[in-house]
Structure 1
Amino acid sequence: MGIRRGATVEEAVMNVRRRRRHRADILNEIEADITELKENLCPSTEDRSMWRRGSGYKTSFSTNETWRILRVNYTQCSWSRSVWFPQATPKFLFIVWLAMLNRLSTMDRISSWSRGVDETCVLCKCAPETKNHLFFGCSFSSQLWEYLVKGILGSAYTNDWNAVVLLITDQSMERKKLFCIRYAFQAAVHALWRERNKIKHDDKPLPLPVLQKLVEKGVRNKLSLMRIKGGKGMQRVLQYWFGARL
């Protein structure tokens, strides 16, 4: 084609030569594109940088639109805002996020890649350890969950994982109540996973009464901060917590 291997687009277009007919169709297509570019050239006009946007090419750059074009779009999870909500504790929500995706190394998952392991739940020692059993079908974990939220939920109380997930995604719930349930949920999941791992690594777990009081104190400390940082409607969230537990 008369174009050197290291030539730029400008050199290829500006190279004056007679258009040739090639045996290979792909070379003919390249020649046609080069010819079209040469015909559309405007030597008197200064080149401009153009950025691809959602509505076409623009002279201004947008980080937001560039990110949207580059990323793969997936359907948003129904529970995403219930896990990744403002004022959540990062180490809590990370464990909850893994649990939501069923990516915690519970014994039923471990047994799928390591045959012969004991699948019994180390907290209650009465049933195989699955995510739904550990949170909160286990007799040990259900007592912690009941201790934290039974007074708030009342007749709506449940220890079924799927039903609990529906509760924390209920946007019609009062703001103070919803935050208390969501934060207690994350604190409980994190604490139970920590105690479970202690036993798996031959460490001594906390007695249930101690664990209950420790987790509840952590929730109270968070709610105390929410009175200042929680914004409108959250000034009396700690009083709400105490009132629901009487």
Structure 2
Amino acid sequence: MYETCLSVNCTVKDLWDGVSWKWPLELLDRHGVVLGSYKPRLIANVADVVKWKDRQGRLKDFGADLAWNEIKQCRKVVGWADWVWFHQNTLRHAFILWLAIKERLRTREKLVSWNIGDASECVFCKKHLESHNHVFMDCDFSKDIWNSFLALVNLDGFFVDIVDKDDGWARFIKISSIPCKKSCWNLIKRWLFGAVVYFIWQERNYRIFQAKERKVDGICSLIKDYVRLKMLGADIKKGRMYAQALRKWGFKELDCEDGQKIE
């Protein structure tokens, strides 16, 4: 508007004479095909409205969300989407988990391949190359954290098919791509998966950038407290399954909606 000297109070009537448009030359040079494609029908004493024509040619009230959904590139929804982006998630956990699943975190393996820095070993074990697969799945440090929680979400033996495999992280993602059912256990699993990945990556960064170090027990305590707090505030049916989950996570003396008391 500023570059073309159009007034902020300019109306359609000021630019349309009933036959043709009177756009400034600057706009015609840039967007002439678009600007001249529509011929409005002026109605006296009616305020201008902004409309958007969708892919089916239907005119709708303009909105940024509508425009974005029309112009964005649509792709098939990935199987793990519900494990990352879901109601009641924690956004910072979801963001790190999303980057990890897409293998976009700046692990030392990636940095060395970009000729950034010389260190390539894992900050936890100081033996192996720090890749997504190693730091989240194959390192003994990460294994200890996972194994501390798997029984709490009924996933005993979860690592049998993925640990110590070259593609363990890929197998983990494949398991995470199994469709989620709407149950409190699946909600707890999603909170747990996001929290474990987030706190492992946080601990990795603490050791590199702040020279701070926490033991496995300390990180497990943080994860457990986080999941327990989410369970207390969860928007979820508080029935028998919820009562079972509360028992397993160490809660006592809590009433559920079906009258069952946790002792």
Normalised TM-score (structure 1): 0.71
Question: Partners of 1:204 and 1:223 in 2: how far apart?
Answer: 30
1:91 aligns with 2:96: no
What one-letter code is carried by the residue in structure 2 that aligns with 1:243?
K
C-alpha displacement at 1:175, in angstroms? 1.8
Judge conservation of contact 1:121–1:129 (CA < 8 Å) in 2.
yes
What one-letter code is carried by the residue in structure 1 that aligns with 2:156?
G
1:139-197 Cα deviation digits (max 9, x unpaired):
00110011011442124445432232233332265722222221111111111111111
What one-letter code is carried by the residue in structure 1 that aligns with 2:72?
R
Question: Partners of 1:202 and 1:13 in 2: how far apart?
Answer: 66
Q: How many residue pairs get matched?
A: 212
SS in 2 for 1:102: coil
Select which of 173, 178, 192 maps to 2:200: 192
1:161 aligns with 2:162: no
Question: Partners of 1:119 and 1:77 in 2: how far apart?
Answer: 31
Partner of 1:108: 109
* Identity score, percent: 24
Q: 1:11 to 1:170 in 2, by over 3 A?
A: closer
C-alpha displacement at 1:217, in angstroms? 1.8
Judge conservation of contact 2:82–2:180 (CA < 8 Å) in 1.
no
Question: Partners of 2:112 and 2:156 in 1: how far apart?
Answer: 37
Partner of 1:26: none
User: Aligned-residue CA RMSD in angstroms?
Assistant: 3.5
Question: Partners of 2:239 and 2:124 in 1: how far apart?
Answer: 35
Which protein is richer in helix relative to its size?
1
Partner of 2:218: 210
Normalised TM-score (structure 2): 0.67
Judge conservation of contact 1:140–1:208 (CA < 8 Å) in 2.
yes
What one-letter code is carried by the residue in structure 1 that aligns with 2:88?
Q
1:181 aligns with 2:189: yes
Judge conservation of contact 2:83–2:180 (CA < 8 Å) in 1.
no
1:1-51 Cα deviation digits (max 9, x unpaired):
xxxxxxx7759859xxxxxxxxxxxxxxxxxxx9xx9xxx99xx7469764
Question: Partners of 1:181 and 1:174 in 2: how far apart?
Answer: 12
What are structure 2's unaligned runs of at least 5 residues? 1-14, 22-35, 251-263
Judge conservation of contact 1:144–1:188 (CA < 8 Å) in 2.
yes
C-alpha displacement at 1:124, in angstroms? 1.3
Judge conservation of contact 1:54–1:69 (CA < 8 Å) in 2.
yes
C-alpha displacement at 1:244, in angstroms? 7.5
Judge conservation of contact 2:228–2:249 (CA < 8 Å) in 1.
no
Question: Partners of 2:149 and 2:211 in 1: how far apart?
Answer: 25
Partner of 1:146: 147
What are structure 1's unaligned runs of at least 5 residues? 1-7, 15-33
C-alpha displacement at 1:242, in angstroms? 3.8
Partner of 1:25: none
Q: 1:177 to 1:201 in 2, by over 3 A?
A: same
What one-letter code is carried by the residue in structure 2 that aligns with 1:167?
I
